[in-house]
C-alpha cells in the first residue's frame, strides 16, 4: 500500500481542468498527500511524462447522498455503511456528506451516532440531515409521519449524537419554530438548507433573511417545492435571486430525471458554477440493478434506474425517491447534454461544494498545496484512476 508521506513523486499528464481553465496538455504532480505542481507540460521541469488522452479533474464532492451499492445511510447496519462510501469513491467522489431522511427521533439520533464514526475515521466529511422540520405538502419521499415542527431539543440531541459530524440540515421556512432552529444551526456552524417547502416567495425571502450571514443552500432546487409560476413564483425565484447575489448555493440533481437538461443549463447561465453544487441525492440503488429498496421508513421501487416510492397506483406518477447517479454522472451530463462548460461543471462538482462545507482551502481544486484528491477520466467520462489523499482507491485498506 502507498504511504502518503512517501516523498516519491507521482505525475499525471493529460487534459487538466483547474478552477479557472482547461490546460489541454498539462501535468499534475503529487508528493505524498499533497499536490505539488500543476501546469502546462511545456513548463514542467521534472522527468518526462508520457502523453495521455485522459482528463484530470479534482476529486469530486457530494454534499447530498443517501447511499449506494445496496447500502443506505438512513437505515443500514454499521458494517454496511462504508459500502456506500466506497461505491461513490470508486466513481470519483473523494469527499461526501452522508444524508439522513426524516425518521422517528430515536432513529435519527442513533443513525447520526453511527455515521459520526465514519466522520471520525475520515471516511466521510460529515452528515447532512434532510428533515424532519419539513412541509407535509412537499414531503416527497420523506415519511410524512416523521415530520414535525421545529424542535431545538431534538436538534440538540442530533447534534450531540453527531459529535461534530453534522454539517448541514434541510428545513422548510414555513414550519413553526423555524427561527429558533435556524439560530441553533448557526450557533453550531451547521449550514441551513431550504427545501421540501411549500412556502410562497415572501415567506421564503423572510426565511433567507432570518438565516442571516453565512452559507445557505437550496436542497435540490425545483424538486420538493412548488413549480415556479409567473404569478406565484414561490421559493424557486427567491433562491435563484439569492444565488445570483452570491448569497446561496443551489443544489441541482442534473440527472435528466429530476431536472431537464435545459433547466440545468439555464441555472448555470443565470448564477454560474460558483453558486451551484451538483448533488447525487443517491439512495441505496445507486450502482445496483432495478428492484425494491428502502429509503428510511419507506419502500422504493427502481425501474429503468428511476427510483420512486412503491405504491399501488401508477408507478410512473409516484414521487421520485432520490437518485441512482453519482456526481461524475452529473458532471458528464452537464457537459455533454446540457452544454455547460467543462470548467463550470467541474466547479459545481468540486470547489463549490467543498467551500460550502468549509473545506475549500484543502480540497476541490487542482492547485499546489491542496490535498491530493484527483480523478482521471477517459473520453467518455468513465473513471480511469481515483486518488484520495495521495492514495489510489484500489490500494486503500
Taking 80 as the threshold, does the pLDDT of residue 257 lie above it? yes
- Give the pLDDT confidence of 6-43 residue by residue, as tens digits: 556 899 999 999 999 999 999 999 999 999 999 999 99
348 with 299: CB under 8 angstroms?
A: no
pLDDT per residue over 163-203, tens digit each? 999 999 999 999 999 999 999 999 999 999 999 999 999 99
pLDDT of residue 48: 86
β partners of residue 293 = 300
Residue 139's pLDDT is 87
Q: By mean pLDDT, which of 137-141, 232-236, 242-246, 303-307 is the weakest?
A: 303-307
Give the per-residue pLDDT at 312: 55
Residue 316: pLDDT band by 50, 70, 90 thresholds? low
Query: What is the overall mean pLDDT for the chain?
Result: 93
- List of residues 6+ apart from 153 with CB closer than 8 A: none
pTM for the complete prediction? 0.94
State the residue for C-alpha cell 487542482: 366
CA dihedral 73, 78, 81, 86 (to 10 degrees): 160
Cβ-contact 235, 259 below 8 angstroms: no
Name, in order, each residue with C-beta under 8 angstroms of 300's C-beta and a sequence gap of 6 or more. Answer: 141, 283, 285, 292, 293, 294, 307, 308, 309, 310, 321, 322
Evaluate if residue 101 carries a pLDDT over 70.
yes
Give the residue with greater pLDDT, 1 vs 253. 253
H helices within the chain, ranges in order? 78-90, 105-120, 152-162, 178-187, 201-211, 234-244, 261-271, 327-336, 342-349, 351-356
The reported pLDDT for the residue numbered 285 is 85
Mean pLDDT, range 312-317, rounded to an integer: 62
pLDDT for 397: 44
**pLDDT class of 396 with cuts at 50, 70, 90:** low
302 vs 265: which has the higher pLDDT: 265
Once rounded to an integer, what is the mean pLDDT over residues 220-227? Answer: 96
Please report the pLDDT score of residue 2 as a whole number. Answer: 45
Closest CA to 201 of 230, 166, 175: 230
Q: Does the structure show a pLDDT above 80 at 4?
A: no
What was the pLDDT predicted at 1?
Answer: 42
> Please, which residues have CB within 8 angstroms of residue 188's CB and are 6 or more apart in sequence?
159, 166
State pLDDT tens for residues 54-75. 999 999 999 999 999 999 999 9
Mean pLDDT within 223-227: 96
Q: What pLDDT is recorded for position 313?
A: 59
Q: Is the pLDDT of residue 293 over 80?
A: no
Amino acid at each position: 500500500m502507498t504511504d502518503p508521506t512517501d516523498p516519491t513523486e507521482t505525475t499525471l499528464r493529460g487534459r487538466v481542468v483547474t478552477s479557472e481553465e482547461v490546460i489541454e496538455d498539462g501535468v499534475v504532480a503529487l508528493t505524498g498527500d499533497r499536490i505539488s505542481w500543476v501546469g502546462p507540460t511545456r513548463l514542467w521541469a521534472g522527468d518526462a511524462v508520457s502523453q495521455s488522452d485522459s482528463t484530470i479533474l479534482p476529486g469530486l464532492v457530494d454534499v447530498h447522498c443517501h447511499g449506494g451499492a445496496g447500502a443506505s445511510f438512513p437505515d443500514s447496519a454499521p458494517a454496511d455503511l462504508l459500502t456506500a462510501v466506497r461505491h461513490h469513491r470508486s466513481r470519483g467522489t473523494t469527499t461526501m456528506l452522508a444524508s439522513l431522511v426524516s425518521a422517528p427521533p430515536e432513529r435519527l439520533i442513533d443513525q447520526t451516532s453511527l455515521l459520526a464514526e465514519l466522520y471520525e475515521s475520515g471516511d466521510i466529511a460529515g452528515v447532512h440531515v434532510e428533515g424532519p422540520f419539513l412541509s407535509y405538502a412537499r414531503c416527497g419521499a420523506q415519511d410524512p409521519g416523521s415530520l414535525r415542527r421545529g424542535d431545538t431539543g431534538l436538534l440538540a440531541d442530533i447534534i450531540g449524537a453527531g459529535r461534530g459530524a453534522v454539517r448541514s440540515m434541510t428545513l422548510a421556512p414555513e414550519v413553526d419554530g423555524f427561527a429558533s432552529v435556524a439560530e441553533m444551526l448557526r450557533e453550531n456552524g451547521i449550514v441551513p438548507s431550504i427545501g421540501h417547502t411549500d412556502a410562497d416567495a415572501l415567506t421564503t425571502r423572510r426565511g433567507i433573511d432570518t438565516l442571516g450571514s453565512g452559507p445557505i443552500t437550496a436542497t435540490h432546487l425545483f424538486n420538493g417545492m412548488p413549480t415556479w409560476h409567473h404569478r406565484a413564483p414561490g421559493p424557486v425565484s427567491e433562491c435563484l435571486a439569492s444565488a445570483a447575489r452570491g448569497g446561496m448555493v443551489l443544489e441541482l440533481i442534473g440527472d435528466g430525471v429530476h431536472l431537464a437538461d435545459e433547466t440545468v443549463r439555464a441555472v448555470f447561465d443565470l448564477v454560474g458554477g460558483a453558486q451551484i453544487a451538483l448533488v447525487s441525492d443517491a439512495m441505496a440503488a445507486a450502482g445496483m440493478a432495478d428492484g425494491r429498496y428502502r429509503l428510511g421508513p419507506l419502500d422504493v421501487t427502481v425501474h429503468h434506474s428511476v427510483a420512486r416510492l412503491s405504491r399501488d397506483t401508477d408507478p410512473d406518477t409516484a414521487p421520485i425517491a432520490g437518485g441512482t447517479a453519482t456526481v461524475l454522472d452529473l458532471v458528464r451530463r452537464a457537459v455533454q447534454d446540457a452544454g455547460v462548460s467543462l470548467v463550470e461543471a467541474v466547479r459545481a462538482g468540486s470547489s463549490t461544494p467543498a467551500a460550502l462545507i468549509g473545506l475549500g482551502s484543502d480540497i476541490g481544486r487542482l492547485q499546489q498545496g491542496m490535498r491530493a484528491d484527483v480523478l482521471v477520466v477517459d473520453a467518455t467520462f468513465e473513471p480511469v484512476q481515483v486518488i484520495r489523499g495521495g492514495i489510489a482507491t484500489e490500494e486503500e485498506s
